Structure 1
């Protein structure tokens, strides 16, 4: 499983999350403590917002602990909103376009989790994308495809609703094709104004998510695991919850897919053998 950290608030240097803390994201890349795998060495990425509406991004396939450029960038870049990710691949090769965060327009997205039996679901999932979103798919991961589906389903209008519809679509598609609808999803995303995070799983075993205040003016940090040993500073976000960090502070809400209206997939009735061909 991957590890990630995200921040929104007064401008901070990226190193405040990525390199400086005792259990920084770089430390977690080779010594994670609250994940199934301690090593997350299949690449890394950062996305940050500045004066332009779209985010800047830097990704590479090197382990985060071995990239001196990452340390230099994190020390120099100061941003009020950024996402950082270290990858432990569960699907998709170790290549730059499979490294998080993924970006499209002003949106950035990163994910920790998995879709069971993804190879049988991939083609019908891709069939739901409009041409411009399909053309934007450069990697092979389930994470990138979930992000593009959320954009297809109205991320600009209703971010949490679009994510819920995306996950509900995947669950129903798996059920329709005779598979086991298993989705584990802990993700962060941003439009450059608000920071969103969701922790959700069909089996109530979603990857971890923690939150803590950071900075002097109401900033907030969301992470896969705490950046230090101060347990009193970190609150674990429960499974089945969403977090919004915006101008007015932090809002935590219930999150689920049960009430989402079903959306039809044109390939949903195609035999499994043909989808695998």
Structure 2
């Protein structure tokens, strides 16, 4: 599987996000504590927003812990909205076009999990993608195809409904092929202003997902912590696993739920696929 983080708030140095925490994402690429695999070395990617509406992306097939370009870029770049992902392939090739986050216009998307027995359902799911969007699919992963299914069902207008519809089609297709638990997912997507995160699996035993607590409350608990003091009041993190053991810093996102982060506002709602 994979590990990822989504940050929003005041511009922060990417090195602060990716390298400095005690259990940083780069550290997790080699020593994940909560992932399906300990090592997530099949490439990585980062996406960030700056002055342009369209986000920048950087992908590499190198392990994150061993990529000098990532270290150099992270030291020099700041952004107020960052997606980062370290990959453990579930079968598709290790290549740049298979690294998350995926980009379409001003949207980013990343996924931890899998569409089970993907080769069996790949043709049916591909045919469900809008023909106008299909030429833009560059890689061979279930995660990118999932993104384009969500785009087909209206991600840019109503993200929650689009992901519910996409998961509904994935589950219906899988079960038609005799697959008992067609999908396992934690997903994050953003348009540059709002982040939506989803935790769901067909067996209701989803991979871990956490969100940071209110920064002002953390400052009261840990007044000498330099990292907390650097973050703005509206800073929020959504992560596959906590970046450290700071008491009170993390709350688990409930099973089968949607998390919406807009500025300092965070809302959680139930998630259920649309029945076909």
Q: Deviations over 1:54-100 (max 9, x none)?
A: 11000000000000111111121111111000000012111110010
Q: Identify the residue that residue 160 of structure 1 maps to in structure 2.
A: 160
Matches within 5 A, 1:81-230: 81-213=81-213, 215-230=231-246
**Offset of residue 261 of structure 1:** 4.7
Q: Secondary structure at the match of 1:131?
A: coil
**Offset of residue 16 of structure 1:** 2.1
Q: Does 1:65 align with 2:74?
A: no
Greater shift in the superposed pair: 5-14 or 149-158: 5-14
Greater shift in the superposed pair: 130-139 or 176-185: 176-185
**Offset of residue 181 of structure 1:** 3.7
Q: Does 1:31 align with 2:27?
A: no
CA contact (8 A) 2:234 2:264 kept: no
Q: Deviations over 1:188-225 (max 9, x none)?
A: 11011101110001101111101114522211000001
Q: Identify the residue that residue 9 of structure 2 maps to in structure 1.
A: 9
Distance 1:181 1:127, change over 3 A: same
Q: Find the aligned partners of 1:241 and 1:167 in 2 and give their Cα distance.
A: 13
Matches within 5 A, 1:222-241: 222-241=238-257
The TM-score with structure 2 as length reference comes to 0.91
Q: Does 1:253 align with 2:269?
A: yes
Q: Secondary structure at the match of 2:268?
A: strand
Q: Identify the residue that residue 267 of structure 1 maps to in structure 2.
A: none
Greater shift in the superposed pair: 171-180 or 16-25: 171-180
Q: Does 1:244 align with 2:247?
A: no
The runs of 5 or more residues in structure 2 that have no matched partner are 216-230
The runs of 5 or more residues in structure 1 that have no matched partner are 263-277
Find runs of 4+ consecutive structure 1 residues off by over 6 angstroms. none
CA contact (8 A) 1:170 1:181 kept: no
Aligned length: 260
The TM-score with structure 1 as length reference comes to 0.91
CA contact (8 A) 2:236 2:264 kept: no
CA contact (8 A) 1:91 1:142 kept: no
Matches within 5 A, 1:43-62: 43-62=43-62
**Offset of residue 176 of structure 1:** 2.2
